[in-house]
A and B are shown apart, each in its own frame.
Chain A
Amino acid sequence: SQQGEEDPQALSIQEGENATMNCSYKTSINNLQWYRQNSGRGLVHLILIRSNEREKHSGRLRVTLDTSKKSSSLLITASRAADTASYFCATDASGANNLFFGTGTRLTVIP
């Protein structure tokens, strides 16, 4: 299975701090996406980074991708209590028709 793994499994920080989550995967990919899930709800797309990109920004989100290490990181700057959620990375294997999701990082931002 290509399923990715996020690290850490859980992260607790104070409001205003930065949160960094990592994702590792197993095979070559075309793209990597990050999704957010509020408790028990559907996933919401955050950002996509292509295999030929190294870094991408969207608002307070910064994503990096290192294809040589098969890893990605998601940085949330100046965290807010509303950022409390689970975050998943999703990868597509070259030639595949679907996404493989990781196991997620549970982020808690303490007001």
Chain B
Amino acid sequence: EAQVTQNPRYLITVTGKKLTVTCSQNMNHEYMSWYRQDPGLGLRQIYYSMNVEVTDKGDVPEGYKVSRKEKRNFPLILESPSPNQTSLYFCASSSLGRGEETQYFGPGTRLLVL
């Protein structure tokens, strides 16, 4: 089954404790992206990747890092999480990343930073 998976689905952590949210897709998509969703703000893009070893900042990259060492994986790294990073995070992928491409979303990771 074609899908985007994220782990963990739920995470509670404390300020400053490094964490990684994994994202994997099995559709051989070149384009992958991370979004955060907050009430009243919709989805905002954090980082995206057009292909292996190619990553770019989205609208709200501060406090986040990503890597794209393999085509299928695109982990999101919070080196020193802060409470304002409490949010619902989504990973997404598409074939080529252009606007005519449908994006496939993961199930989401709900993060609480205390």
A interface with B by C-beta (< 8 Å): 1, 3, 29-31, 33, 35, 40-45, 48, 50, 88, 90-93, 96-104
Contact = CB atoms under 8 A, between A and B. Distances in A.
A69 to B, nearest CB: 19
Contacts of B92: 42-43
A42 B44 CA distance: 14
B102 A40 contact: no
Interface of B: 4, 31, 33, 35, 40-45, 48, 50, 56, 58-59, 88, 90, 92, 97-100, 102-108, 110
Contact of A1 (B35, B56, B59, B102): B59
A96 B27 CA distance: 22
A109 B59 CA distance: 33
What is the predominant secondary structure among interface residues of chain A facing chain B? strand
Given A1-B59, A98-B58, A99-B103, A41 B108 contact: yes
Nearest to B107: A42
B108 A31 contact: no
A103 B37 CA distance: 9
B43 A48 contact: no
